[in-house]
Structure formats: C-alpha cells, structure tokens
Amino acid sequence: MANTLTVTDNRTGKSYEIPISYGTYPEYGASIPTADLRQIRASEEDFGLLGYDPAFKNTASCKSAITHIDGERGILRYRGYPIEELAESAGFLEVAYLVTHGELPTADELEAWTHEITYHTYVHESIKKFTEGFHYDAHPMGMLVSTVAALSTFYPEARDIADPEVRRRQIVRLIAKMPTLAAFAYRHSKGLPYVYPDNDLAYAADFLTMMFKMTEVKYEPNPVVERALDVLFILHVDHEQNCSANAMRSVGSSRVDPYSATAAACAALYGPLHGGANEAVVRMLGDIGDPKNIPDYLERVKKGEVKLMGFGHRVYKNYDPRAKVIKKLAYEVFDEVGKNPLIDIAVELEKRALDDDYFVERRLYPNVDFYSGLIYQSMNLPMDMFPVLFAIGRTVGWLAQWEEMLTDPEQKIARPRQVYLGHDKRTYEPLSARE
Ligand code: ACO
C-alpha cells in the first residue's frame, strides 16, 4: 500500500502525489502536509491551493506527545497514564511534574519539585497593590488575566525563552503563583485582607488557606475537601489542543514571555464556551428546581429552546472520563460538608437523559462540567471563581504545550492564511468629496 494521496486537478488535468503520514494511534487518523497543496495551481500566477478550515475543525496544528484523547471510547491519558489512575493515586504536583517533564518523578525528584514550587508561591508586594486597584465587584477571572500578564514585568529575564533553564524557572513560578493570584482576587472581591502563602502547607491546602483563613492562627482545611480540590486540579491539567491551549501556543509562537502567553490562555478560558459551562450547569439545575420538573425541561431541550448544559462534547462521544471521577468525588465531598441539594436533580437529569432517544442518538453524555460546579459550590466557592480554579490546574498543561511548541523545530510563528472577500482596489476620496 502506498502511503500517498493522488489528487487530480480537474481544472488542469494534472495529478499530484502527496505523502500521507500517520501518528501513533489510529483514532487520530492520518494527515497530509497541507503546504503540499500549494503546488496545485490553475495557472503560473495562481498562488496555489489552500486548505480552508475555520475553527481548525479538521486541521492538526502540531505534533504533540502530552495528552491522548479517544473521544469514541471515552479515554483521556496524560503522557500515557489514564486519568482515572492519576486521579485515584497521584497528587497534583506529581501530575504537574509528569506533564511538564514527560515522566513520573522519583520520590527525590518529587520532593525537590514540591519544595521548589512551594518556595515560589509568594508574589511581589506590588502585585497586591495592583489587585487593590480593581473595582470591588471586578470579575476574579478579569483580575487573574491582568495580574498574570503583570508578572512578566517583574521577571524581564523571562523573555529569554531560548534558554531551557530560564524557561524552567518561569514554569515553576507560574505553577506556584497562580493559586496566590487567584486567592488574592477572591479576597479582594470579598473586601478581606490577603492571606500570604504558607510554606508548611501542600499546594491545595495552601490555596484553601489563602482563600478562607479568617482570624484563626492556623486554618485547617478539611482533608477530604483538600484532596477533592487536588483531584479537580488534576482533572483540569490538560486537554490537548483546546481553545486556551491553542491561544497559549499561538501567542507564545511570537516568542513573547510565558506570563504574557499564559494571560492570553487565561483570557481564552474566560469565555463562556470554554471555562464557563460549569457555572451554567449550576444555574440550570437551580432553574429546574425540583426533580419533578425534569421531564418538562427535557422537552424544552428537545424542542431546541434550551441546551442541557454539561452535556455533549466536540471530542467525547462517550462518557467523559473526567465526569465519572467527579461524580464519585462529589459524594465524598457531600459526606463531609453536607449534600448539595442540586445533586439529586443532576443525577435524575442524567439518568433520564441517558434513557432518552434524543440524547442516545446524538451520543450526548455528561462532560467534565456537569458535576464539578456542584462540588465547588459545596466548598463555598462563588460561581465566578469556577473558571479561576480551572485556570490553576490548566496552567500546567498550557506550559507543557508552550514548551513543546518552542522546542519543536517544525513550529514557526502562527500565522494562518485567509480567503479574502473584501473590495478590490479603491481610490481614496477626500472627506469633502464624500456624501
Ligand atoms: N443539549 C441539547 N442538545 C445538544 C447538546 C446539549 N448540551 N449538545 C449538543 N446537542 C445537539 C445539537 O443540538 C445537535 O443536534 P442536531 O444534530 O439535531 O442539530 C447535536 O447534538 C450535535 O451537537 P453540536 O452542537 O453539533 O456539537 P458540537 O461538537 O459543535 O458542540 C458542545 C459541543 C459545544 C460542548 C455542545 O455539546 C454544548 O453546547 N454543550 C453544552 C455546553 C457545555 O456543557 N459545554 C462544556 C463542554 S466541556 C469543556 O469545554 C470543558
């Protein structure tokens, strides 16, 4: 079998042979280098054939070895390790090491990495002043986007992105400082004094302390809540070429510093089509209000009046493996802090939807957002903090994607082509001559 594609241009009758290459896994399909289409021309002056693919629905923008998704079978793996096993047995910083370094750490490596991250959690005092400048009701995600970008001005060395040691230092700083920036944004919105990081605490416990410590000498987070948050961070670490990872790669391809690129990725996550669906699920469950109203709600979904939020996914045509882990986690948290009454509506809604032909035929299953908002709500986290929590975990994935892009010799500054539909050349008329 020849691994080539023969294309005949019916305008000219000419045939071209284009190589087909395969990734490691059949579910990712085969690909052709679309640059090879440029040789296909109708005339000498012709620019050559382009691929037209708005929203990259069928275009691979990179070769990556970080995250493996098989949407048909509901599989998600980081560096080859199934998400269920990592969520069950690993800690967030262990997974962060795996995703950024490619291998699981040894005990010594994990200890050194944890120490390094822990000792970089402080932010410059001026960042505090910066946060104070925001209006009292500023959205915490807006504050996060801005403060992450501001970090670049504190670390001018970060611009030296060609130096692997400089890159590594910024990766450590960003993973370490995101929870501090996130907690400062929350405390500001509540009008509460900022709580500084505590180097005696593990990553999730430190974040919970910076969020919720009041007058007590030592805030002691509930260990089940702490572990649940750690797992939620793990589940959000990476999801291959999603909108924010693509923003990170695209902005980073200009060789800007990683703080500015991460701010761009955060901004992409801020959008309701990306990081905001878990909030929409909580609002939807509140609107349904009672399990007895579910049939009516599902009828409205089927008529196209509303969407079943937290259901469906561009890639997963099976149960999102992260949703399975989160559903189990929700009950563990509720056993500790009290049941979120919306869970009964969520479980019944899921059951009825999965029994309904409309959802079965369209292969619509719960996604990561269906249960995560309920857990966050039970942890007393306000809805506008939900995407911020997503950003803390996802920073690890963004940085791994960024470094992979920078070290890939095939990558260049991202610069898509366009199909131009505007005016042909026009002559400028002075203002006085215009009607
Ligand atoms: N409720 C009702 N119907 C749905 C839903 C839903 N949640 N999702 C898809 N459908 C229907 C569509 O109406 C369409 O039906 P049709 O064939 O009769 O026209 C069919 O299923 C296919 O859906 P598409 O919109 O083509 O699927 P797409 O891949 O473009 O969208 C998306 C995926 C955006 C996630 C969609 O399922 C959705 O809007 N879900 C609700 C929002 C949500 O939960 N987003 C979080 C995603 S996970 C994340 O980003 C972290």
Amino acid identity at 109 = E
Strands 75-78 and 81-82: antiparallel
Residues with active-site annotation: 274, 313, 369
Rounded distance between C-alpha atoms, residue 232 and residue 394, angstroms:
10
Number of the ligand 1 atom closest to the C-alpha atom of 310: 44
Question: Are 272 and 130 spatial neighbours (Cβ–Cβ below 8 Å)?
Answer: no
- Residue 184 near residue 128 (C-beta atoms within 8 A): yes
- Give the separation between CA 190 and CA 239, rounded to whole angstroms: 32
Residue 274 has pLDDT above 90, yes or no: no
Centre of ligand 1 from the C-alpha of residue 308, in Å: 8
Residue 315 CA: nearest ligand 1 atom is 29
CA–centroid distance, 248 to ligand 1, in Å, is: 24
Q: What percent of the chain has pLDDT over 70?
A: 100
354-387 tens-digit pLDDT: 999 999 999 999 999 999 999 999 999 999 999 9
- Closest C-alpha to ligand 1, atom 15: 362
pLDDT one-digit tens code per residue, 28-56? 889 999 999 999 999 999 999 999 999 99
Q: How far does the centroid of ligand 1 lie from the alpha carbon of residue 313, in Å?
A: 6
Q: Which of 313, 326, 370 to mutate to test the pocket of ligand 1 (most atoms within 8 A of CB)?
A: 313
Token pair listed for 209: 């302390």
Q: Which two tokens stand for residue 346?
A: 């969520």
Among 307, 309, 360, the mutation site with the greatest number of ligand 1 atoms within 8 A of its Cβ is 307
Residue with tokens 């042909």: 424
pLDDT over 80 (residue 140): yes
65-122 tens-digit pLDDT: 999 999 999 999 999 999 999 999 999 999 999 999 999 999 999 999 999 999 999 9
- What residue's CA is closest to ligand 1, atom 11? 362
Tokens at 72, concatenated: 């048909």
Residues within 6 Å of ligand 1 by CB: 274, 277, 301, 307-314, 362, 364, 367-369
pTM metric for this prediction: 0.94
